[in-house]
């Protein structure tokens, strides 16, 4: 499946009660410091929307966000452009971007110890209803690439996989491992697999 418009969300364990506007100056500082691999552009405030996109950090390659879709706060990253590699490599590259942002937010001096993520629970979704309709067939097509991603993240630990079955919703699956794990540990596991940073990919394309 030649799917590129992919999103991944990691849910908050601590920090769900922090008012969304408190994240805005932090994300603006990330832009100024070029803190992430993407070309960061602007911050959009949707905190007035109930169970909506929250606070959006707009980037050239994709968007990050403090997202409250479905009533659960999490940090989300979704790609807007083509991503290098096969589908399994794309998933791992995008997941690495998300986990890097999660780890950075956990370390924020403005929120000392107030934000932590559930590393053992991730949601993967498709932002392309034509390429990836919400169906069992789409899950079957994505299963090998999803399996490689989750094996890299959760190693030999058991995990469950749940698909959003409402046909009106976009395709989404939530993976949950029975073993707690930090986002820092997940990031190290992906790095050990040799998943390159976006900066390294760009340098390889444009030496």
Nearest to 52 by CA among 28, 27, 71, 69: 69
End-to-end CA gap in the chain: 30
Residues facing 76 on adjacent strands: 9, 65
Q: Is the pLDDT of residue 200 over 50?
A: no
Q: Is the pLDDT of residue 204 over 70?
A: no
DSSP annotation of 195 reads P
Predicted local distance difference test score (pLDDT) of residue 1 = 78
For the segment 22-41, the average pLDDT, to the nearest whole number, is 97
Predicted local distance difference test score (pLDDT) of residue 195 = 59
For the stretch 52-57, contacts whose Cβ atoms lie closer than 8 Å and that sit 24 or more positions apart, written own/partner, are 54/20, 55/20, 55/21, 55/23, 55/24, 55/27, 57/27, 57/30, 57/31
Q: What is the pLDDT of residues 115-126, one digit of tens each?
A: 999 999 999 999
For the segment 132-143, the average pLDDT, to the nearest whole number, is 95
Radius of gyration of the chain (CA): 16
DSSP H stretches of helix in 24-86: 24-33
Look at phi and psi of residue 71 and say left if phi exceeds 0, alpha if psi is from -120 to 50, else beta: left
Tokens 């601590």 found at: 14
In angstroms, the CA 67 to CA 47 distance is 9
Q: Please state the pTM of the whole predicted model.
A: 0.91
Q: How would residue 197 be classed by pLDDT, with cut points 50, 70 and 90?
A: low
Q: Is the pLDDT of residue 206 over 50?
A: no
Asked if residues 90 and 124 have their Cβ atoms less than 8 Å apart, the reply is: no
Asked if residues 178 and 159 have their Cβ atoms less than 8 Å apart, the reply is: yes
DSSP H stretches of helix in the chain: 24-33, 87-106, 136-154, 183-192, 198-205
In angstroms, the CA 71 to CA 87 distance is 29
Burial degree of 22 (CB within 10 A; 0-12, 13-18, 19+)? middle
DSSP H stretches of helix in 11-135: 24-33, 87-106
Q: Is the pLDDT of residue 14 over 70?
A: yes
Nearest to 130 by CA among 83, 165, 171: 171
């Amino acid at each position: 499946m030649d799917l590129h418009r992919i999103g991944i969300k990691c849910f908050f364990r601590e920090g769900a009660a922090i008012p969304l506007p408190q994240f805005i100056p932090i994300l603006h500082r990330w832009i100024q410091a070029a803190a992430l691999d993407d070309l960061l552009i602007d911050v959009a405030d949707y905190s007035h929307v109930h169970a909506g996109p929250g606070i959006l950090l707009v980037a050239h390659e994709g968007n990050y966000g403090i997202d409250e879709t479905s009533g659960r706060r999490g940090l989300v990253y979704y790609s807007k452009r083509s991503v290098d590699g096969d589908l399994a490599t794309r998933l791992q590259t995008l997941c690495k971007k998300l986990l890097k942002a999660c780890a950075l937010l956990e370390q924020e001096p403005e929120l000392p110890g107030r934000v932590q993520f559930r590393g053992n629970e991730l949601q993967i979704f498709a932002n392309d209803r034509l390429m990836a309709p919400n169906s069992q067939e789409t899950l079957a097509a994505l299963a090998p690439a999803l399996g490689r991603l989750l094996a890299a993240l959760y190693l030999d630990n058991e995990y469950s996989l749940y698909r959003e079955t409402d046909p009106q919703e976009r395709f989404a699956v939530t993976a949950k491992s029975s073993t707690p794990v930090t986002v820092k540990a997940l990031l190290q596991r992906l790095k050990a697999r040799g998943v390159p940073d976006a900066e390294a990919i760009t340098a390889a394309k444009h030496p």
